[in-house]
């Protein structure tokens, strides 16, 4: 089954293929068709994604300064999940914001970042509320030049998981109190100092869980040749790590 059909079979609440040829509208290909918007600058459109070997795919490259994509989503109710393909060869900054979901008062949300520490690149996932942040989940080493399939699972308010290229790479078990409303699904940006330099494609938000079997099915449907390493499981505590 083609990748897009595989995603749509799991009824995403938002599905941004990121294949637009110009700025403005960020098309939501989910059944809900709630479109978002691309920033007015800092984006390169129609970037080929050759790692999708069974079908043609395009993405958007974000410049690490102004590039961003925003789409509204419903209020978060556990469980929920996100999914995106990430390629960030430029590594303009040591810490870059791939994706965020944040409420209008910035009282609650999740953050997916890439970060280089002593020459080692990893993905990190954290959830926060107005009082505290969750334990940070870290992947093992990833290739900055490879295309990576990244899924986050927020199963309930005390359990979240990070999956990279079809494998569970970390989890955290700690309570978060959901607060706030009117959430925004943000790509490549989470504020003026939190940006991303690299290419993104096929971003999805699910207002329900994605099971491990479905995560693996999505990864296999893309038939991605990812320049990835062997993943281990590592959960880091403390947002600053």
CATH number of the domain bearing residue 45: 2.60.120.200
Spatial CB neighbours of 160, under 8 Å, sequence gap ≥ 6: 110, 125, 127, 134, 137, 152, 153, 154, 171, 172
- For residue 112, being part of any structural domain is answered with yes
pLDDT grade, residue 225 (50/70/90)?
Answer: very low
| pLDDT at residue number 132 | 63
Query: Which position has the higher pLDDT, 225 or 95?
Result: 95
Report the predicted TM-score, pTM, of the whole model to 2 decimal places.
0.88
| pLDDT at residue number 236 | 32
Q: Which domain holds residue 156?
A: 3-235
- Is the Cα torsion angle 81, 127, 99, 91 positive or negative in sign? negative
- For residue 101, being part of any structural domain is answered with yes
CA distances from 104 to 128, 203, 231 (A): 14, 21, 35
CB hemisphere CA count around 92 (13 angstroms): 16
Distance in angstroms (rounded) separating the CA atoms of residues 150 and 187: 13
Spatial CB neighbours of 118, under 8 Å, sequence gap ≥ 6: none
Query: Which position has the higher pLDDT, 90 or 49?
Result: 49
> Quick one: DSSP state of residue 134?
P
* Total domains, the chain: 1
| pLDDT at residue number 234 | 31
Show the beta-strand stretches assigned E in 75-182: 80-87, 95-102, 109-117, 120-128, 137-138, 148-156, 159-164, 167-172
pLDDT at residue 231 tops 50: no
- For residue 240, being part of any structural domain is answered with no
- For residue 26, being part of any structural domain is answered with yes
- For residue 145, being part of any structural domain is answered with yes
- For residue 241, being part of any structural domain is answered with no
pLDDT grade, residue 176 (50/70/90)?
Answer: confident
pLDDT at residue 142 tops 80: no
- For residue 157, being part of any structural domain is answered with yes
CB hemisphere CA count around 101 (13 angstroms): 30
240: left (phi over 0), alpha (psi -120 to 50) or beta: alpha
11: left (phi over 0), alpha (psi -120 to 50) or beta: left
Reference 38, options 186, 163, 234; nearest CA is 186
Residue range 135-151: mean pLDDT, rounded: 81
Residue range 197-208: mean pLDDT, rounded: 95
Query: Which two three-digit tokens encode residue 84?
Result: 């995106």
- For residue 136, being part of any structural domain is answered with yes
């Amino acid at each position: 089954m083609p990748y897009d059909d595989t995603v749509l079979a799991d009824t995403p609440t938002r599905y941004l293929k990121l294949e637009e040829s110009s700025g403005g509208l960020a098309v939501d290909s989910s059944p809900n068709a709630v479109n978002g918007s691309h920033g007015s600058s800092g984006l390169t459109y129609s970037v080929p994604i050759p790692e999708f070997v069974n079908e043609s795919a395009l993405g958007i490259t974000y410049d690490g300064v102004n590039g961003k994509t925003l789409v509204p989503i419903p209020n978060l109710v556990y469980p929920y999940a996100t999914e995106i393909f990430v390629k960030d060869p430029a590594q303009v900054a040591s810490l870059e914001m791939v994706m965020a979901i944040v409420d209008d008062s910035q009282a609650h949300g999740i953050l997916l970042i890439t970060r280089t520490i002593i020459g080692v690149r990893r993905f990190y996932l954290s959830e926060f509320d107005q009082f505290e942040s969750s334990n940070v989940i870290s992947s093992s080493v990833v290739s900055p030049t490879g295309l990576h399939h990244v899924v986050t699972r927020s199963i309930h308010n005390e359990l979240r998981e990070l999956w990279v290229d079809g494998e569970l790479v970390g989890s955290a078990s700690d309570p978060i109190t959901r607060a706030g409303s009117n959430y925004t699904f943000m790509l490549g940006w989470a504020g003026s100092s939190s940006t991303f330099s690299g290419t993104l494609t096929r971003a999805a938000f699910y207002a329900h869980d994605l099971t491990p079997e479905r995560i693996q099915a999505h990864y296999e449907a893309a038939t991605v040749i990812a320049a990835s390493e062997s993943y281990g499981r590592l959960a880091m505590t403390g947002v600053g790590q």
